[in-house]
Amino acid sequence: MTLPELKRKLKAIKALGFVKTHRKGDTGIGKTLEDLLGIKENNIPLPDIGEIAELKAYRRSASSMLTLFTLEPQPKGGDRDRILLDNFGYSKRDNGRSKELHSTLSCKRYNNQGLKLKVEKDKVRIVGKGKRLNIYWDKEDLRKKFEAKLPALVYALADCKEIKGTEHFHFNQAYFLEGFDFEHFKNMVKKDAIVVDFRMFYRPSGSVRNHGTGFRVKINQLYNCFDTKVDLN
């Protein structure tokens, strides 16, 4: 399928108006659009641009966030996690852990653990209240991770309504997206449209268990992360 062919198909789907879901539940929206496009998986080969684009369909009303990728900050090594746990971790008596840090960081304000994000020219830095930290993600690490996880994307939004007890979708907005734009990424961090989740704790042995540090984005803001945006409507 070429990009012009995909655009024609999406316009035809838009003209259908509301269509009945092909599967009940949260995954129904993706399954329905895949079937309407005639693809078996959520990957769309686009030989004219030399890409295989992942198809992502979302309800326009969705207010939740999705994980863009996981990436540990600099500097590498266990001391970084121990510094965070020792200074900003907390204890829950019911789970037997000496300290844990399950915490969401945003840019506009400190969280309950005294942590926030700060955007700099070529970095996104972690700031601790009352503690000087040198923990950060640099531009190049973020670019590599983003482009490895999301090299190209077909991003579709649909209005939803229930008809006779069954969900229906009107797919009426879509973009082809590719390329990482650090300035856009930084602006989204500044607006708290992108946040960071820490998920780590001390094992009884004293070693650190880190479940991965996740960058999450508001679903309806995902397209703003990309450098190239092609309107497919």
- What's the confidence (pLDDT) of residue 96? 60
pLDDT at 50: 59
Residues 146 and 181: their CA atoms lie apart, in Å, by: 10
Q: What is the pLDDT of residue 220?
A: 80
Cβ atoms within 10 A of the Cβ of 156, count?
25
CA dist list (Å): 162 to 18, 36, 168, 169, 170: 10, 19, 6, 9, 11
Please report, for the domain that includes residue 223, its CATH number: 3.30.70.3570
Instruction: Give me the percent of the chain exceeding a pLDDT of 90.
Output: 59
Q: Is the pLDDT of residue 49 over 80?
A: no
Contacts of 140 (CB under 8 A, 6+ apart): none
Q: Where are the alpha helices (DSSP H) in the chain?
A: 3-15, 28-37, 78-88, 139-149, 182-190
Alpha helices in 25-133 (DSSP H): 28-37, 78-88
Task: Decide if 153 contacts 178 (C-beta within 8 A).
Answer: yes
pLDDT in the model for residue 95? 57
4 CB-side CA count, 13 A: 1
End-to-end CA distance of the chain: 16
pLDDT for 97 equals 64
Q: Which domain holds residue 17?
A: 3-231
Interatomic CA distance for residues 53 and 155, integer angstroms: 9
Q: Give residues with Cβ within 8 angstroms of 6, minimum separation 6.
A: 37, 44, 46, 154, 176, 232
Cα angle 32-162-165, degrees, rounded to a multiple of 5: 100
Backbone phi, psi, residue 62, to 5°: -65, 130
Q: Tell me, what's the pLDDT at 199?
A: 93
- The predicted pLDDT at position 52 comes to 74
As a whole number of angstroms, the distance between CA 196 and CA 212 comes to 10
Tell me the pLDDT tens digit for each residue of 136-170.
999 999 999 998 888 888 999 999 999 999 999 99
Domains in the chain, number = 1
Q: How far is CA 12 from CA 88, 98, 135, 172, in A?
A: 53, 58, 49, 10
Give residue-wise pLDDT tens across range 174-214: 999 998 889 999 999 999 999 999 999 888 888 888 899 99
Contact 44, 50 (CB under 8 A): no
**Gap between the Cα atoms of 42 and 167, Å rounded:** 21
Burial class (CB in 10 A: 0-12, 13-18, 19+), 50: exposed
